[in-house]
Amino acid sequence: MTESKPLTQLSIVVPIYNEEPIIEELHQRLTAVAQSITPNYEIIFINDGSKDNSLLSIHRLSEVDEHFFYINFSRNFGHQLAVTAGLDVARGEAVVIIDGDLQDPPELIPEMYQKYKEGYDVVYAKRKQRKGESMFKKVTAKMFYRILQKITNINIPLDVGDFRLIDKKVVEALKLMPEQNKFLRGQIAWLGFSSTHVLFDRDERKHGKTGYTFSKMMQFAMDGITSFSDKPLQFVTKLGLFISFVSFLIILYACYAHFILHETITGWTSLIISSMFIGGVQLISIGIIGAYISRINKNVQNRPLYIVEKSKLPQEYKELANT
């Protein structure tokens, strides 16, 4: 047997998109927290194509801190893939996923680690309140998770984001899920494992603005739904049946009115309204089917999930580091 290195107890995975002003503080707070848990920890930042100088700060940190690793994407691939890349290289027995904007307080990690030590494989950080987020975001997020709960069979916990601690087993299981459109919180729920949560107040963003634009949020919501539910497809089928049935009744009535009552129903307005209605329903249905087809398409193409421009990674990931 070769001499064995101490196991990495804790990995902290942080996606970074335009977070330059707080990178120092983030690193300091994460380091303090990690050291309070174990000396065998690693911190992994994934720079997701930031447009500011985040990379420069990250690079500086990587030169002075041996516990610090990073991956620099060749462009912006999105939050979910940044986290995925981090999980791909994390070696920890326990892995924490945390946002890089300090909205998720690093100081909560010891409490999460405590629960992990008690034997839970997944420890969610559940928001008591979300400060500084727009009414629109709160309302749409709430609606989305309620709807998702209704139409999927898996139980995605409410009011939790991606801030969580997961056991190595969960990380390994996630790697077996090859889908291109990641929806990690749903995937982790789908996997099962024993889970619990700790409560926290979500802070405001310290600087800058959310990297989740409206269209990224829409895409994320669509990924969440299409990866876990066929209900939208069943719904449009039922809607189609229902509309066909109603129009059949109307045809019967029109025949009756024409041949028996000798009154022909006139009406340009009803004609236009009904054809517009049907047109709308058809377009929505095609859109829904299209969303599923696009998912299939992406998975068939089977492209790499992300492209690494450069990185500092532990020895065992040399291959990835050289890409």
Contact footprint for ligand UDP (CB under 6 A): 15-17, 19, 48, 76, 78-79, 82, 99-101, 103, 210-212
Angle at CA 96, nearest 5°, toward 72 and 9?
100
For residues 66 and 5, is the Cβ–Cβ distance under 8 A? no
Interface stretch with Mg ion, choices 19-27, 94-102, 112-120, 193-201 (CB under 5 A): 94-102
For residues 83 and 162, is the Cβ–Cβ distance under 8 A? yes
When CB distances are held under 5 to 8 angstroms depending on the partner's kind, the choice from Mg ion, ligand UDP, none that residue 127 binds is none
| CA–CA dist 24, 63 (Å, integer) | 13
Closer residue to Mg ion in complex, CB, 111/133: 133
Closer residue to ligand UDP in complex, CB, 85/171: 85
Closer residue to ligand UDP in complex, CB, 21/314: 21
Confirm or reject binding of residue 103 to Mg ion (CB under 5 A).
yes
Draw the binding track, 218-237, toward Mg ion (x: CB under 5 A; -: no contact). --------------------
When CB distances are held under 5 to 8 angstroms depending on the partner's kind, the choice from ligand UDP, Mg ion, none that residue 42 binds is none
Interface stretch with Mg ion, choices 8-16, 102-110, 259-267, 294-302 (CB under 5 A): 102-110
Which residue sits closest to ligand UDP, CB atoms considered?
211
How many binding residues for Mg ion (CB under 5 A)? Answer: 2
Closest CA to 71 of 238, 273, 307, 250: 307
Residue keyed to tokens 């249905």? 285
Interface stretch with Mg ion, choices 16-24, 97-105, 146-154, 298-306 (CB under 5 A): 97-105
Supply φ then ψ for residue 93, to 5 degrees.
-65, -35
Interface stretch with Mg ion, choices 89-97, 100-108, 167-175, 219-227 (CB under 5 A): 100-108
Closer residue to ligand UDP in complex, CB, 52/93: 52
| CA–CA dist 34, 40 (Å, integer) | 9
| CA–CA dist 79, 65 (Å, integer) | 24
Closer residue to Mg ion in complex, CB, 42/101: 101
Q: Are strands 160-167 and 94-97 parallel, antiparallel or unpaired?
A: antiparallel
Tell the smallest beta-carbon distance from residue 216 to ligand UDP (Å). 6
Q: Are strands 10-16 and 94-97 parallel, antiparallel or unpaired?
A: parallel
For residue 288 the two structure tokens come to 């829904």
Confirm or reject binding of residue 101 to Mg ion (CB under 5 A).
yes
Distances 112 to 35, 138, 157 between C-alpha atoms, Å? 15, 25, 16
Closer residue to Mg ion in complex, CB, 20/101: 101
Tell the smallest beta-carbon distance from residue 104 to Mg ion (Å). 8
51: three-class secondary structure by DSSP: coil
| CA–CA dist 244, 233 (Å, integer) | 17
Kindly state the helix (H) or strand (E) to which residue 97 belongs, with its residue range: strand 94-97
Tell the smallest beta-carbon distance from residue 211 to ligand UDP (Å). 3
Residue keyed to tokens 């945390």? 98
Tell the smallest beta-carbon distance from residue 162 to Mg ion (Å). 10
Which residues form the interface with Mg ion (CB under 5 A)? Answer: 101, 103
